[in-house]
Amino acid sequence: MKKTLTVVTLLAAGVSQAAGLTIDTQSGRATGMGSTGVASSKDSSSIYYNPAGILGVNKLDAQIGDSLIIVHLGFTPEGGTKQTQTTPSPPFYGYFAYKLSEQLALGVGVFTPYGANLKWPDDFVGRQFAKSSKLVTYDINPTVGFAPLKWLRIGAGAQIIYGTVDVERALAFGTTEGSVKLSTNDWGFGYNVGVQADVLPGMLTLGATYRSWVKMNTQGTADFTVPAPFSAALVDQPVKLDLTMPATLGLGVSFTPMEKLTLAVDVNWVDWSTVDELAFRFQTTPTLDQPLPKNWKDKWNFHIGGEFKPMPNLALRLGFIYDPTPTPEDTLTPDLPDATRLNFTAGIGYEHSHARVDLGYHLVVLQEQRSTFPLLPGTYDGLSHVIGLSVGYSL
């Protein structure tokens, strides 16, 4: 009889609503529209989706938001028992944009572009690879937008990223167990650029955006908890981990066939091949180094969204995302579990005077993903729910 191990988590992570490590629910409006925004974003959240869009604000725009992500992740190994575990970790974001003139706008955003947060049950069959794993990146993104022509907008920004990594692994000593907690952090720097062109003003807009890769040479500590006979050999020590957050390229179209209806399509290329291994380097005892190969592949993902306004202050939204996993079958392990996703999205927005509230929802179907990793073969699948809420103010 096939046994299934199940984990239920609340997280901001790659196993939630976007493949790999991407978190693309960075505004309530975009969340409801299939996380589109390359051509359709025209408020302060453009700092994430396309920096050229900040020129679409009237004078001033600010918003803050958060997401609740509930994941039901299943793993079927060769044996195991059904258990559950919860881990809360919602991603926060905030943006501010100010239009100095019709040609110039400034802004700044703070958000989490990449992340993962997962805790397996204590008796998980793969706990020697990961009892828990957490990656968090905080991106401070100052931005400038310039409009050389009335129909053309150009934007650029600096990425100032602080990243933290925390992994706990079980260690086997015959009939007893210990553990090691690996914690590292570092700063990294990059840039993002974008352009939006009103091909048919008021009807058709094209957009393109690029966000550079960011390399972080994280450093920290390895904290061992082991039986007494092994404590002399396994001592707490410094540890290093090199990480590169991938570059992304986005292309988008926004089409308004009638005054009340806007349709948007985005396609995004992600340079996931920068994730080639997960390799902690122990500084006192290098023989402990055990790199896990990843060999992720570059992927395109596809987004479609729509917004209908039955009343000037009310917006209804729908969307869909196809997001293929970058993880090969032979390197899929429980420290960074992944699967191809089908996202079905919906949302609603309401404006009153200068204030607005946007609510978005993703139903994410994680398709069955087989792992042929020699030491832990099995199958991953699951379902997740993402609820994003943002509040904004504009002048």
Q: Is the pLDDT of residue 71 over 60?
A: yes
Could you tell me the pLDDT band of residue 67, with boundaries at 50, 70 and 90? confident
Contact between 281 and 243 under an 8 Å Cβ cutoff? The reply is no
Q: Which residue has the tokens 């989706």?
A: 49
**Mean pLDDT calculated for residue range 364-372:** 90
**Mean pLDDT calculated for residue range 348-367:** 95
Burial (Cβ within 10 Å: 0-12, 13-18, ≥19) of residue 204 = middle
- Dihedral of the alpha carbons of 32, 262, 306, 351, in degrees to the nearest 10: 30
- pLDDT number for residue 65: 95
**Mean pLDDT calculated for residue range 360-385:** 89
* Pairing status of strand 152-173 against strand 176-200: antiparallel
Burial (Cβ within 10 Å: 0-12, 13-18, ≥19) of residue 30 = buried
Q: What are phi and psi of 21, to 5 degrees?
A: -120, 5
Could you tell me the pLDDT band of residue 9, with boundaries at 50, 70 and 90? very low
- pLDDT number for residue 184: 97
- pLDDT number for residue 343: 96
Strands (E) in 84-151, as ranges, are: 92-99, 104-111, 115-119, 132-149
What is the three-class DSSP state of 87? coil
**Mean pLDDT calculated for residue range 375-385:** 86
Which amino acid is present at 363? L
CA distances to 158, 207, 209, 310 from 104, in Å: 17, 18, 18, 33
Task: Read off the pLDDT of residues 278-299 as tens digits, 9 standing for 90 and up.
Answer: 889 999 988 888 888 899 999 9
- pLDDT number for residue 90: 64
Q: pLDDT > 90: what percent of the chain?
A: 66
Q: Is the pLDDT of residue 4 over 70?
A: no
Task: Read off the pLDDT of residues 89-108 as tens digits, 9 standing for 90 and up.
Answer: 567 899 999 999 999 999 99
What is the three-class DSSP state of 376? coil
- pLDDT number for residue 271: 95
CA-CA distance, 2 to 79, in Å (whole number)?
7
**Mean pLDDT calculated for residue range 130-138:** 88
Could you give the maximum distance between any two Cα atoms of the chain, in Å? Answer: 75
- pLDDT number for residue 14: 44
Q: What angle do CA 149, 151, 155 make, to 5 degrees?
A: 75
The radius of gyration computed from the CA coordinates of the chain, to the nearest angstrom, equals 22
Token pair of 48, please? Answer: 């994430």
- CA-CA-CA-CA torsion sign (5, 11, 15, 20): negative
- pLDDT number for residue 7: 47
Domain edges within the chain = 28-394
From the centroid of its chain, how far is CA 324? Answer: 14
Looking at the domain covering 28-394, what would its CATH class be? mainly beta
Q: Is the pTM of this model over 0.75?
A: yes
- pLDDT number for residue 17: 53
